Chains A and B, each alone.
Chain A
Amino acid sequence: MASFKPETEASLVDVVQAALADRTPLELIGNGTKAALGRPMQTAATLDLSNFSAVSLYEPEELVITAGAGTRLDEVRKLLDDKGQEFAFEPPDLSGLLGSAHAGTLGGMLACNLSGPRRLKAGAARDHILGVAGVSGRGEAFKAGGRVVKNVTGYDLAKLMAGSFGTLAALTMVTFKTLPRAEGEETLVIEGLSDEEAIAAMSLAMQSPCEVSAAAHLPQAVAKGVAMTLLRLEGVPPSIAYRRDKLIKMLAPSAPLHQLKAEDSRAQWISVRDVHPFAGPSDRYVWRLSVPPAEGARVAASLARQLDMRWFYDWTGGLIWLEVPPTADAAASLIRAAIPQGHATLMRADEATRNSVPIFQPQPAALSALARRVKIAFDPLGIFNPGRMQEGY
């Protein structure tokens, strides 16, 4: 298979123009770490964007970084860390789940709209992208957004790239907001709660002014031992101590509790963030469900009655990671029928299954037609990642 790896925007435009002339569909890759995500594609060539990998601007006091879309996330993380900063949305490293080499690139992080446990407080990649530059499927270079944190000039095309899985544009440059890392962290662990009790406790904690920055629940089967409900507090040390005491008093759980300090807390949340409980190699399939947080336990309970599954919750119950047996339809219809509002995405399955099961939540007709028109606005001939998200785009 032919592979193109342009080094400049001009040569990228040439590649896309030529692909248009030949009607050659292209698979867009950063480092290919998320190739196993989305619907499998039939493309004649790959367009590798990993040469766009230089950090062109990082101004910590302005809270902004601009880098090539092919820049590796792990490298940028180090750079930010050195200045006491981070991406506040905690982009996960899904390499364990997807069996890839590393966390991938900034472009991939945006294209998949990644987010971690702090999603409930800080949002996702879409909430932190400030600007993009790239080449559309029309073979035209364009840019959108800017480098300042507050900007409403024109449509937010930069946000539109979030969650577009490379179906709209080949990005060359991305500008993200950065934020200071909290000085400290600590996690309160309540042991042995049932799912419903855990969600009620997490919900109560979130309704308090204790500024919980992450809330997850690992049922017994996943926690290996006793179920754990995790509540993370971040900030300056005196503030953490104050809020921890307040939280304990408020929740007054009859269940035993303990605390995870700095390093242990960090390690625990990386495990939740990166979905370590379901890391491969494994032939079992993995789903990611986004539902109204208070519905989490009900959704899981109704599925557990019908499926041999393991699961855990993040985002106070709003995010459910679900591991199911490798059946032909990956239990797709069952799972989607159980969701009152929200969506289910098939994150890991073999290629045959990914070919036959809708990976992303099917959309109502009017919305799906609109999404198709948006695709055409950027890529009228369908040469970028054709069929990656839905049939046709």
Chain B
Amino acid sequence: MIAMPLPDKVTLARRREIAEALRQFVPGEGVIETPVEMRAYETDALTAYRQMPLVVVLPETTAQVSAVLKYCHAHGVKVVPRGAGTSLSGGALPLADGVLLGLGKFNRILDIDYANRCVVTQPGVTNLAITQAVEHKGFYYAPDPSSQIARTIGGNVAENSGGVHCLKYGLTANNVLGIEMVLVTGEVIRLGGKHLDSEAYDLLGVMTGSEGLLGVVTEATVRILQKPETARAVLVGFPSNEDAGRCVADIISAGIIPGGMEMMDRPAIHAAEEFVHAGYPLEAEALLIIELDGCPAEIDHLIERVVAIANRNRANSCRVSESEEERLVFWAGRKAAFPAVGRISPDYICMDGTIPRRRLPEVLNGMAELSRHYGLRVANVFHAGDGNLHPLILFDANDPDELTRAEKFGADILRLCVKVGGVLTGEHGVGIEKRDLMPEMFSEADLNQQQRLKCAFDDKGLLNPGKVFPVLHRCAELGRMVVRGGKLPHADLPRF
């Protein structure tokens, strides 16, 4: 298990006083402090970790968020922001000595602006609700993670979430035009807006994916797109992962960027098929779902080429969806992959590394070896277009040894991803889950520079501490500079 920083005894002792103070800013039921009511906030989707917060506060306005943060900053109280609590990496895990700041009441869409093709929304609105609000005009909000029914836009911004369509349509970062945010000091700032470029330092880019460590998002302006006229999917089975991997590379080399391109390995295919009966080819070692979207003329043209490429790569089955129902059936198995795996194992953890795509066979072989080593099963679903792997490690949490092995197995998979040139997390965030693996990817200098940026936003380290960074430094210590003596080395450097 990953250790959290020890809670501060003084703060724990001041719990009542802090709760009372917060009531001045957020009246009535907006402050929760009984264990029964706080239970709902004790964990996020990384359920192996649980912690009761000090108090829960549920503000409704930016002014309230500002007052809460200003108070916490002045009194040195830690704060953990929370959207819907669907983070898979423990980003929203409470701290025993920290206020949990829930944004669930920020649940209104403020402005739908078709002329500027954007929606201004509060952060507690769910990802799916935005699409629902604009779909009667043919629009949608592109990032569509599997958890979109529940997860909030605030959480999406904080995690820079993706989805199956992000190869073509981008991640959250590419679809957010602006935000209003509150700094830990209580200052309210706006970054970007309805215009396309936010000028000067790209603080909007930095906020996206900052996992609640830099500020609290209280409003977001997101880009909406016109829905493609139609979409069709191709379901292809392959005798080996290598063949499927080559097929993906060949499609992209042919200049085709599908709307979605998902891969599943044998265990995932079987689990999904048993669950939803989508007609997946059970003899295949690897399955690709390739979706093409756009106008009918374009899709017909491209599907022919994709099918030819698949056949050249030894596809042993290939079906093209002939109706919208059929397309949805193709997807049903993939979309249900997590619960399907949940059926064949008491528990699972979902990993999230990204690799250069052509290293896929090597990484899958490595995983098979690790699976044998740890005596645990693994099933893989994979955003094939962008190299984002989601290995699902199956275990039984009632057996503490299995949990430990599963965590080690997961860590080894991520190390393998980094070793082949990839990264620890493609879309789920570092949180606490991958915190201690950060040195696998970054040197001490790299991590210190990231923490210096954190200091520019949060000088006392009060926002979501214990997440993302394995070692916490004081800002004063990080800011200190050691300047070597000496004159500019005029002599030994090439000049002109």
Is B485 on the interface with A (CB-CB < 8 A)?
yes
Determine the residue in chain A with the shortest Cβ distance to B211.
Answer: A152
Nearest CB in chain B: distance from A386 CB, A: 15
Is A241 on the interface with B (CB-CB < 8 A)?
yes
Known: A209-B295, A242-B297, A380-B479. A62 touches B450 (CB 8 A): no
Bound-state CA distance A183–B254 (Å) is 10
Which residues B283-332 have CB closer than 8 A to chain A? 294-298, 300-302
Nearest CB in chain A: distance from B310 CB, A: 16
Q: Please, how many residues of chain B have a CB less than 8 angstroms from a CB on the other chain? A: 109
Is B166 on the interface with A (CB-CB < 8 A)?
yes
Bound-state CA distance A115–B195 (Å) is 14
Verify A150–B297 contact, CB threshold 8 A: no
Chain B residue numbers with a CB within 8 Å of A252 are none
Verify B195–A127 contact, CB threshold 8 A: no
Chain B residue numbers with a CB within 8 Å of A136 are 449
Known: A154-B468, A160-B453. A293 touches B485 (CB 8 A): no
Bound-state CA distance A30–B456 (Å) is 28
Is B400 on the interface with A (CB-CB < 8 A)?
no
Nearest CB in chain A: distance from B488 CB, A: 4
Which residues B119-174 have CB closer than 8 A to chain A? 137-139, 159-160, 162, 166-167, 170-171, 173-174
> B456 is contacted by which of A6, A154, A239, A373 (Cβ under 8 Å)?
A373
Determine the residue in chain B with the shortest Cβ distance to A120.
Answer: B196
Verify B202–A160 contact, CB threshold 8 A: yes
Which residues B393-447 have CB closer than 8 A to chain A? 421-430, 434, 438, 441-443, 445-447
Measured as residues with beta carbon below 8 angstroms from the partner, the interface class of chain A is 35 or more
Is A329 on the interface with B (CB-CB < 8 A)?
no
Bound-state CA distance A181–B255 (Å) is 7
Is A357 on the interface with B (CB-CB < 8 A)?
no
Verify B453–A157 contact, CB threshold 8 A: yes
Which residues B223-244 have CB closer than 8 A to chain A? 226-229
What are the nearest 3 A-B pairs in CB distance? Answer: A159-B205, A239-B298, A180-B255
| Chain A residues in the interface with B (C-beta under 8 A) | 2-7, 11, 14-15, 17-22, 24, 45, 59-64, 84, 113, 115, 119-120, 123-124, 126-127, 136, 138-144, 146-157, 159-160, 162-164, 168, 179-181, 183, 203, 206-211, 235-236, 238-239, 241-243, 246, 290-294, 315, 318-319, 341-343, 345, 360-361, 363-364, 366-367, 370-371, 373-374, 376-378, 380-381, 389-390
Given A209-B226, A211-B226, A374-B456, 17 more A-B residue pairs with CB atoms under 8 Å apart are: A21-B484, A61-B357, A64-B356, A120-B196, A139-B483, A140-B448, A148-B426, A151-B425, A154-B447, A156-B206, A181-B255, A207-B137, A211-B228, A239-B295, A239-B298, A294-B116, A377-B456
| Chain B residues in the interface with A (C-beta under 8 A) | 113-117, 137-139, 159-160, 162, 166-167, 170-171, 173-174, 183, 187-191, 193-197, 199-203, 205-206, 208-210, 214, 226-229, 249-250, 252-253, 255-257, 294-298, 300-302, 354-358, 383, 386-388, 421-430, 434, 438, 441-443, 445-450, 452-457, 468, 479, 481, 483-490, 493-496
A-B contact pairs, 11 of them (CB 8 A): A21-B484, A144-B449, A152-B209, A155-B210, A238-B297, A238-B301, A318-B196, A342-B193, A342-B195, A343-B199, A390-B200
